[in-house]
Amino acid sequence: MLAEYAVRVENSRGRRHPEPEHPYRTAFQRDRDRVIHARAFRRLEDKTQVFTHRISDHFRTRLTHTIEVAQISRTIASRLHLNADLVEALALAHDIGHPPFGHAGEIALDAVMRRHGVRFDHNLHALRIVESFEKRYIDFAGLNLTFEVREGIIKHSRDYDANEHPELSEYLLDLRPPLEAQLIDLADEIAYNTADLDDGFEAKLLRIEEMLERVGIFERFYRELDKQHPQASIKLKFNEALKRMLDRFVTGLIETIAERVRQAGIHTLEEVRNWPERLAVFSPEVDCERREAKKFLYERLYNNPTLQPQKADAEQIVTELFDHWLSHPDELPRSYQQMAGTSLLPRTICDYIAGMTDGFILQQHRRLVG
């Protein structure tokens, strides 16, 4: 049972290269499966989220984070009667454009590209991956995903100006994306705000006392649990408080989206697309709680002095490799040398680095730079 304003697979705008329908999988289910089987998806296993998995097997990687986002997104979509197959495909694809070393790698890539008057954008890189970089099929380059998945990949977290990005003109930049795409970025925030508290505590960089003092929603749930289960271990009370925090964010988001849709009198997908702003948002109260947790994470985890040497190393490795290949393009793999002949060399080098895993870029740096 889909809501009136949900995306219906039978109304899809289709694929760039027409294909016959599958006998028992819908087009969005096939898109989900194509993402899962893509090399770019597998590489997420060795890409940093906040901590490299070489420190501990228990910390999230880009892959495990992506799986958590997919689970949260499916729950929200199911409750709102949205197209869960489309939502799952978008959730699984939402991070495939990220480079190695997490945000430090992205900052470094963007910095070197700015020297050449362009930028690095992981959403746009993800689109390039699914449209051309993946090589799995005889009849076409890329994954040949449906329009709705490709649109959601670039529009799930931000709006693009058609004047600044004429190459994206086919993606209805003057319209909002469907709710299925709008909820992905919010599910992403829910996932990492709670998971990063967990990993930070596991890494002993965040203390319970700090969280109780600085993160109001966590403090409220932890105090309740401490009163109800005084003999339970700190770790178990911490785990339960995080679970309740995640449930609070998810439930609040579901209720807010449903209420905004009702108040707006939305009945069709076209009305969602033509609404002047995104309908998928947190309520003011939950958004305040979310921002408080996010601020705490930035101040006490992401900018923690213990992690700065790791970030500095990541930025140095990305920058030195980029500069090396800029001076020695003949040392790029042959396929990338051929690409450099038809596009800007900086963009080709950027594409190569962005696709690397943490382990592979370290190997290349040792081999070429030392």
Residue 210 lies in a domain: yes
Identify whether the C-beta of residue 209 lies closer than 8 Å to the C-beta of residue 234. no
Closest by CA position to 275, among listed 287, 257, 290 = 257
Band of residue 282 on the pLDDT scale cut at 50, 70, 90? very high
Burial class (CB in 10 A: 0-12, 13-18, 19+), 260: middle
Residue 177 lies in a domain: yes
Q: Which two tokens stand for residue 360?
A: 């592979």
Query: What pLDDT was estimated at residue 341?
Result: 73
Residue 102 lies in a domain: yes
Total number of domains constituting the chain = 1
Taking only the tens place, the pLDDT of each residue in 212-260 is 999 999 999 999 999 999 999 999 999 999 999 999 999 999 999 999 9
Range of the structural domain that residue 154 is part of: 9-309
Q: Which residues make Cβ contacts (< 8 Å) with residue 275, sequence separation at least 6?
A: 176, 264, 266
Residue 139 lies in a domain: yes
221: left (phi over 0), alpha (psi -120 to 50) or beta: alpha
Query: What pLDDT was estimated at residue 277?
Result: 96
**What percentage of the chain reaches a pLDDT higher than 90?**
91
> Alpha-carbon Rg of the chain, whole angstroms?
22
Identify whether the C-beta of residue 24 lies closer than 8 Å to the C-beta of residue 6. no
Band of residue 370 on the pLDDT scale cut at 50, 70, 90? confident
Residue 228 lies in a domain: yes
Band of residue 55 on the pLDDT scale cut at 50, 70, 90? low
The pTM score is 0.94
The CATH number of the domain holding residue 103 is 1.10.3210.10
| Rounded average pLDDT over 174-200 | 97
Q: Is 268 a residue whose pLDDT tops 70?
A: yes
Taking only the tens place, the pLDDT of each residue in 310-338 is 899 999 999 999 999 999 999 999 888 88
Backbone φ and ψ for 345, nearest 5 degrees, come out as: -60, -45
Query: What pLDDT was estimated at residue 343?
Result: 67
Angstrom distance (rounded) from CA 16 to CA 146: 7
Burial class (CB in 10 A: 0-12, 13-18, 19+), 145: buried
Query: What pLDDT was estimated at residue 342?
Result: 66
Hey, which residues does 146 pair with through a beta bridge?
15
Residue 276 lies in a domain: yes
Angstrom distance (rounded) from CA 34 to CA 344: 29
Closest by CA position to 322, among listed 343, 358, 351 = 351
The CB-side HSE value for 84 (13 A sphere, CA atoms) comes to 13
Query: What pLDDT was estimated at residue 293?
Result: 97
Identify whether the C-beta of residue 212 lies closer than 8 Å to the C-beta of residue 245. no
Q: Is 128 a residue whose pLDDT tops 80?
A: yes
Backbone φ and ψ for 81, nearest 5 degrees, come out as: 60, 40
Query: What pLDDT was estimated at residue 50?
Result: 87
Q: Which residues make Cβ contacts (< 8 Å) with residue 70, sequence separation at least 6?
A: 88, 91, 92
Query: What pLDDT was estimated at residue 280?
Result: 98
Angstrom distance (rounded) from CA 172 to CA 158: 13
Residue 222 lies in a domain: yes
Query: How is residue 21 annotated by DSSP?
Result: P
| Rounded average pLDDT over 116-135 | 94
Band of residue 190 on the pLDDT scale cut at 50, 70, 90? very high
Query: What pLDDT was estimated at residue 235?
Result: 95
Q: Is 208 a residue whose pLDDT tops 60?
A: yes
Residue 347 lies in a domain: no
Q: Name the residue type at position 23.
A: P
Q: Is 57 a residue whose pLDDT tops 80?
A: no
Identify whether the C-beta of residue 77 lies closer than 8 Å to the C-beta of residue 83. yes
Question: Mean pLDDT of all residues in the chain?
Answer: 95
Identify whether the C-beta of residue 245 lies closer than 8 Å to the C-beta of residue 150. no
Taking only the tens place, the pLDDT of each residue in 134-176 is 999 999 999 999 999 999 999 999 999 999 999 999 999 999 9
| Rounded average pLDDT over 74-93 | 98
